[in-house]
Structure 1
């Protein structure tokens, strides 16, 4: 049993490296295919749309309940890796890249949420800590393609795509061979569309969900535009943008794990509120900090922002899970997850649009709207004693 959680965490990390694989090689793709600067937002949104579609289809068909979650994880990892690999096919057109990223996102729905379900099937107690490690693995996986690109800068950009696809296949095999179905696995109820409305009648659930939505408004837009921020800061200076992109995203994995660990002694609501407040302050300070000519001071600020922007993620997942009705918990969590990722598309595309007319240092003020509304909702959550 001791190997179960580390194996799930490692597999989650390896497989979710597919998430930002396209973003990590975008400069080379843009140069090779003469893509516009707005393509960054479209490439990221394609993965998010795929993930939303995947989570809904997986939930409606109750895939992870009807079949072995470990098998679902493996098959999803193999197909997602194949879609990722297709990016390096010769004579690929821009619309095909979006289609391949959509496909990778769709089957990430059989990796990230299913990995959490596998953990829940093993760990009824201490789920908050387990989720902290799992979301931390997602964060590291998201950052990893930037590190691969940084370390293989002298190689063709395709090497980063090959690497992430191979790692995802390995992650799927780890789950299949080392993590059988858990002892607490229970057959789930069929998908209940009426839960979409009814679940939001529960005040605590609604407030936890709205707090999560505010968090998601900021998170993926910040991650997607980190290379843009770094390119603006670098100017004519020599800065390893892929490496710093990796650090700023990956540091959030540490805060997720720490948040999960301290949730045993500090209520998840307090951790979520504090982290969301700090990341909101970072949004508001960004025009001033990004205008400071000292590059390393600004990089330090971005690392703090990277820590804060993710620390609340497993806490909101815990709060949503705690306040979801047990009879429709799977459906309720899927609804919240899908809406949350839908919100990321709106914020990414808004930044994409504003980037054409607003100076970079002022671009991220709009992200403060998410933490502000999220804090109002989180404050209304009534903790159970």
Structure 2
């Protein structure tokens, strides 16, 4: 829709995705005392509404025309492009952390509620806040990308979230209210880089196969969320907050990939 400011436009899109991810927690909070099926039903209805809106909106005016179907191999071929491969590596590292953090959010919040002796009824509301606040990170990062560039935003957001992965268990003895503030900061930074990776990948992908290239990148990225969630959630009962250390390799490898591709030297270009 807006190729010149793709980072800013995608920031709004992924910001809304972030709020949508958090909505089931809000629905759970609003339906406490009701059967568990209610928030699930509400989420399903919203998904149907969203699908209808996408169908009615259609494609943007700048989508390049293609001659028929593009084979999957064209999308895989984009990984042969050094710049696209560098961005994809950063995105893969980001995805290793993102959904695992969102999965752990209720567990991390519940730990602090228990330590502070606060009502468990606050859990869905606080879990919603920690995840949904990421929309502000997306939108703020999108605005910064217009002047500083998508690479600048992505590298700094990934660095900060990676640092939080590393430091959070070391700070686990701090007062609960302070750790909840730290979780809110983490919620902002963990997803702020996501729209910028999409913008960078779209700019680096071959024009004739942007859709296939991004589909391959997204498929691999979401595939990586499965082992990350399985490992961290499975070890929570024995490791507790220390499972966040298992998320550190994602940001580290992502930053290495971005640096290897020279994206750390970019500042004012998408």
**Is the TM-score greater than 0.5?**
yes
| Structure 1: gaps spanning 5 or more residues | 1-121
Distance, in Å, in 1 between the alignment partners of 2:209 and 2:52 is 31
Deviations 1:31-67 (A, max 9, x none): xxxxxxxxxxxxxxxxxxxxxxxxxxxxxxxxxxxxx
Q: CA deviation at 1:168?
A: 2.6
**1:274 matched residue in structure 2:** 156
Secondary structure of the corresponding residue to residue 265 of structure 1: helix
Secondary structure of the corresponding residue to residue 248 of structure 1: helix
1:370 paired to 2:233: no
Distance, in Å, in 1 between the alignment partners of 2:149 and 2:180 is 31
**Compared with structure 1, are the counterparts of its residues 156 and 306 closer, same or farther at alpha carbon in structure 2 (3 Å cutoff)?**
same
Native 8 Å contact 2:165 2:245 kept in 1: yes
Q: CA deviation at 1:185?
A: 4.4
**Compared with structure 1, are the counterparts of its residues 248 and 320 closer, same or farther at alpha carbon in structure 2 (3 Å cutoff)?**
same
- 2:87 pairs with 208, 218, 229, which one? 208
Q: CA deviation at 1:288?
A: 1.9
Deviations 1:217-237 (A, max 9, x none): 000000011111122222243
Distance, in Å, in 2 between the alignment partners of 1:280 and 1:124 is 29
Distance, in Å, in 1 between the alignment partners of 2:60 and 2:150 is 25
Secondary structure of the corresponding residue to residue 126 of structure 1: helix
**1:164 matched residue in structure 2:** 43
Distance, in Å, in 2 between the alignment partners of 1:193 and 1:162 is 35
- 1:343 pairs with 224, 228, 233, which one? 224
**1:124 matched residue in structure 2:** 3
Deviations 1:224-276 (A, max 9, x none): 11111122222243241100110000010111011112211011111101000
Native 8 Å contact 2:76 2:216 kept in 1: no
Distance, in Å, in 1 between the alignment partners of 2:63 and 2:242 is 48
Equivalenced residue count is 261
**1:75 matched residue in structure 2:** none
Native 8 Å contact 2:103 2:233 kept in 1: no
Distance, in Å, in 2 between the alignment partners of 1:202 and 1:173 is 35
Superposition TM-score, scaled by structure 1 size: 0.64
| Structure 2: gaps spanning 5 or more residues | none
**Structure 1 or 2: more helix by fraction:** 2
Secondary structure of the corresponding residue to residue 135 of structure 2: helix
- 1:253 pairs with 135, 144, 151, which one? 135
Distance, in Å, in 2 between the alignment partners of 1:180 and 1:225 is 35
Native 8 Å contact 1:291 1:361 kept in 2: no
Distance, in Å, in 2 between the alignment partners of 1:336 and 1:231 is 34
Q: CA deviation at 1:200?
A: 1.9
Superposition TM-score, scaled by structure 2 size: 0.89
**2:200 matched residue in structure 1:** 319
Native 8 Å contact 1:144 1:246 kept in 2: yes
For residues 153-192 of structure 1, the aligned pairs below 5 Å read: 153-177=32-56, 179-188=57-66, 190-192=69-71
Native 8 Å contact 2:169 2:242 kept in 1: yes
**Compared with structure 1, are the counterparts of its residues 123 and 196 closer, same or farther at alpha carbon in structure 2 (3 Å cutoff)?**
closer
Native 8 Å contact 2:137 2:188 kept in 1: yes
Native 8 Å contact 1:273 1:379 kept in 2: no
Native 8 Å contact 2:78 2:205 kept in 1: yes
Highest relative contact order (Cα 8 Å, sep 6+), 1 or 2? 2
- 2:165 pairs with 283, 287, 307, which one? 283
Native 8 Å contact 1:132 1:260 kept in 2: yes
1:194 paired to 2:76: no
Regions of 4+ moved over 6 Å: none
**Compared with structure 1, are the counterparts of its residues 299 and 209 closer, same or farther at alpha carbon in structure 2 (3 Å cutoff)?**
same
Distance, in Å, in 1 between the alignment partners of 2:40 and 2:136 is 25
Distance, in Å, in 1 between the alignment partners of 2:226 and 2:104 is 13
**Compared with structure 1, are the counterparts of its residues 200 and 231 closer, same or farther at alpha carbon in structure 2 (3 Å cutoff)?**
same
